[in-house]
Chains A and B, each alone.
Chain A
Amino acid sequence: MPTLPTEWRLCLPLLPSLRLGSCDRDGTPRVCRALAADVLPDGRLLVLLAERAAPQVVAALRETAQVALLATSPRSNRTLHIKGHDARVDAAQPGHADLLARRRATLAQEIAEVDGFADAPFIEHWYGVAAHELVAVRFSIDGAWNQTPGPDAGQPVELEPGP
């Protein structure tokens, strides 16, 4: 199973602003904010969402399994786009709370540096999610693209063979 190369695997935790897209059975695009992402030991991607914030996206993922994740750094504008077609949605596990807290801290720090205000109210709004509202999306990586604004935007990332 192909996965992200080391450079981008290490970079992903530093791209804390996340958006997830999917598609209904009738072809309607759906999009929401995602809260955390990480590469799993088997090479797949794990993304955490608040289901109450994105019921239509979660429904679309369950319908079609099509998924696209955009991960960006507000500080550097470095951006990675990852796509898959076998997304699975499950309830989050207690162990995901730690990942959620780490990504929240990174995003809050970047927002404070870029926009000059700490404790932005929207951070609490996004991340103040009850454990039972959190869902985990897992998918195999079909392709990835460097979407950092500039001349290389849209260049495909060469995937590595997974473990």
Chain B
Amino acid sequence: MSALDLHAIRRVLDGGIPPTLCSVSDAGVPHVNLLSHVEYVDARHVALTFQFFNRSRQNILATGRASLMVEDPRSGTSLVLQLRYVRTETGGPVFERLRAKLAGIAAHTGMEHVFRLRGADIYEVMDIAAAQDGAALATLQPRCDLAAGARAVSARLAECGELALLPQVAMDGLRDDLAVHHAILWLLDEHRQSLCALASLGYPQQGIGAELAVAEAGLVGVAVREGVTLRIGHMARMYRYGRTLHQIACDQGLAEGQPIALPGLATPCSQVAVPLRARGRTVGALLVESESDQFFGYDDEDALAVLCAQLAQALVALQGAELESVAPPLEAARVAPRRGPPLHLRHFPRDGTVFIDGQYLIKGVAGAILWKIASDAHRHGRMGFTTRELRLAGSVLGLPDIQDNLSVRLLLLQRRLADWGGPLQIRRLRRGCYELVAERELELECMDRGG
């Protein structure tokens, strides 16, 4: 490896100026072609897209050698990398990263019908040379001080001792310290393979509780499926949300009332999707986006990946603390004065969906929790409840692995009700101890499996 460091030059690999690959046949005949971009793999390797069985590929398979020129769009400085072909990958994290970026570039250049990724060719970088004497890479002006910003957000996450505060601490940190203007924090429902918005930043509607199938969740869905951070710098139709929530509700025959509008930019040009992984499992994902091309770089990926690992650990640890806390028995909650007609809750047990006065509210584990505590309040007049009793009622709720994510689903429900702003809310009394606050009488209707 030369004195120039691959890590230090990785921002030039993004393809502001299309990189150039030169290969040579066995007979010594050179062949030159342009690339959409080069993917940094690690400090010694890059990956290139394998899209076509062309002369370039024949040469590389024959000789194992290639020369790659990348140019800095800020200064024009040319760097030439000498490459040794190692292998081709047809799946996995690097392949998915390349596929995401290729889709973005294809959409940006109107070539979606041309680009198709067959594989990710992995190369070892044997040498890097600046082609022009005396020329230095232009100093990159970062959007913000990412290291200092990440440190500040990390410190606040570390200080946060309440699960209920964690999503807002994360969103505030992204906005205030990392200059991110649009973000969505998604929770993963592994059983249903769906994502549910727990918090958002920068959209007209927060969209808390909005849900998407992982398979239809665009870039963030791929990031969750592959457990890998993905970044694109151009508009990618392939990675937009596949369908709206309303369409999904219609398909499932649940189109009563209006669904929750999905948060998100209508025309995102840059996105980073980071899976939230803790203890070997994916628990959710963070999506940040911008309407500007190439808004995020490799350094953003690194900063967000570190913070998301910490956020995922904190989510898991704090929801465990909620469950483990021993809450004293609740006194009989006082019933607040109730005015107006009854509040009508309709429940679909098949997927936990709850509508309130004909308006879709939530589904899944969060919906099942709401139905249980509303039923207890309606039948027994008991408004208080603990996470502990919800955990014990897991079989009643009829959903698997409920203890794994009960507290965070309860938080989702609490935030969804707050975002809805209606006369039914959940108030946290102390750790593990909550109260259902209903300003109107409850009227319950269960649409059982035959209904």
Contacts and interface: CB of A to CB of B under 8 A. Distances in A.
Nearest to A79: B34
A64 B131 contact: no
Given A31-B67, A66-B29, A83-B29, A53 B22 contact: no
B361 to A, nearest CB: 45
Contact of B28 (A27, A31, A72): A27
Interface in A18-34: 19-23, 27-33
Given A19-B20, A79-B34, A29 B29 contact: no
B71 A21 contact: no
B7 interface: no
Nearest to B126: A28
B34 A70 contact: yes
Contacts of A122: 17, 71-76
Instruction: With a 10 A CB-CB cut-off, give which of B28, B55, B71, B82 has the most chain A CB atoms.
Output: B28
Nearest to A85: B29
A21 B76 contact: no
Given A70-B20, A72-B34, A125 B65 contact: no
Interface residues of B, number: 41
A163 B225 CA distance: 62
Given A29-B22, A31-B67, A32-B78, A68 B30 contact: yes
A120 B133 CA distance: 20
B313 interface: no
B114 interface: yes
A90 B208 CA distance: 68
A81 interface: yes
Contacts of B55: 154
A20 B78 CA distance: 13
A161 interface: no
A3 interface: no
A140 interface: no
A33 B29 contact: no
A116 to B, nearest CB: 10
A68 B52 CA distance: 20
B109 A77 contact: yes
Instruction: With a 10 A CB-CB cut-off, give which of B31, B54, B63, B75 has the most chain A CB atoms.
Output: B31
Contacts of A23: 24, 28-30
B435 to A, nearest CB: 56
Interface string A71-83: 0100001010101
A69 B32 CA distance: 7
Interface in B60-115: 63, 65-69, 71-78, 80, 82, 109, 111, 114
A20 B32 CA distance: 7
Contacts of B66: 29
Given A69-B32, A72-B34, A77-B109, A28 B76 contact: no
B32 A81 contact: yes
A67 interface: yes
B132 A29 contact: no
B154 interface: no
Nearest to B80: A31
Nearest to B77: A125
B135 interface: yes
B422 to A, nearest CB: 47
A70 B69 CA distance: 13
A27 B63 contact: yes
A120 B71 CA distance: 13
B33 interface: yes
A121 B29 contact: no
B114 A150 contact: yes
A92 interface: no
9 contacts: A21-B20, A21-B67, A31-B21, A64-B28, A66-B29, A68-B22, A126-B76, A150-B114, A154-B54
Given A31-B80, A32-B69, 7 more contacts: A29-B65, A30-B67, A33-B20, A52-B133, A56-B80, A83-B29, A154-B54
Interface of A: 19-23, 27-33, 50, 52-54, 56, 64, 66-70, 72, 77, 79, 81, 83, 85, 120-126, 147, 149-150, 153-154
